[in-house]
Amino acid sequence: MARLHLFDLDGTLLHGTSAPVEISRQLGREAETVALDQAISAGRIGSPEYAVQVYDLWADLTEAHVATAFAEAPWLARIREVWAEIRSTGDYCAVVSLSPSFFVERLLGWGAHAAFGSRFPAVPFTEPVDPAGVLNAAAKVRIADRLCAEFGVRRADCVAYGDSMSDQDLFASVPVSVAVNADGHLAGLATHSYTGRNLWDAYELVRDAR
């Protein structure tokens, strides 16, 4: 039976940061976005409110800004090698993130079978962000189930990788999970934990887990 590996982005594939922070860095709005990250992590704002506020910070965003943010972001090592290995075994890999879809979907070029993020308008923005398209923790489970149906995989054959409480619902719904550079709350829910900057080492913890 094939497995489906589900990867979070912010704080997981990206070390110690989020896609919105890296995007905002290109516009000199990093501090404001770090504050928003802290607010959503603390539960002071929800995902739709976060999206609207970060959208407002990105009024001057261009495709060149996004491309530079992606290229210069602090990615974990060996992401593409892990996904190539997963593909070679007949398994599937996908990224499911609360971050903007226009950033997350770039990972399809690195070998992910699927990549889902919060739905933002195309860059440069000519229309507002729709809060209804913004993902939350529960949406990650719904997307995982949709991908299981698409790939012919059971939820019992899924592996989740994440770092924060936005991954808790997904971790609770699959049998194998890896807390990657995670906070203590999520680490306590995971079947495996990894601290470091090499995705291959995290993947090896569950490479043969069935």
pLDDT digits (tens, 9 = 90+) for 127-139: 999 999 999 999 9
pTM of the model: 0.96
d(CA 80, CA 204): 14
Bridge partners (DSSP) of residue 194 are 180
How many residues appear in the chain?
Answer: 210
- Residue 91 has a pLDDT of 97
d(CA 92, CA 83): 8
Contacts of 129 (CB under 8 A, 6+ apart): 51, 52, 55, 119, 120, 121
In terms of CATH, what superfamily is 4-16+74-204? HAD superfamily/HAD-like (3.40.50.1000)
Over residues 178-198, the pLDDT tens digits come to 999 998 788 889 999 999 999
Give the DSSP letter of residue 208: T
The beta-strand segments (E) located in 74-120 are 92-100, 114-118
Phi, psi dihedrals of residue 111, rounded to the nearest 5°? 115, 5
- Residue 38 has a pLDDT of 92
Give the DSSP letter of residue 13: I
- Residue 41 has a pLDDT of 86
Those residues of the chain that have pLDDT short of 50 are none
Give how far the C-alpha of residue 134 lies from the chain's centroid of Cα atoms, to the nearest Å.
13
Determine the residue type at 175.
P
Give how far the C-alpha of residue 60 lies from the chain's centroid of Cα atoms, to the nearest Å.
24
Instruction: Work out the mean pLDDT of the chain and round it to a whole number.
Output: 95
| Domain spans, the chain | 4-16+74-204
d(CA 3, CA 157): 5
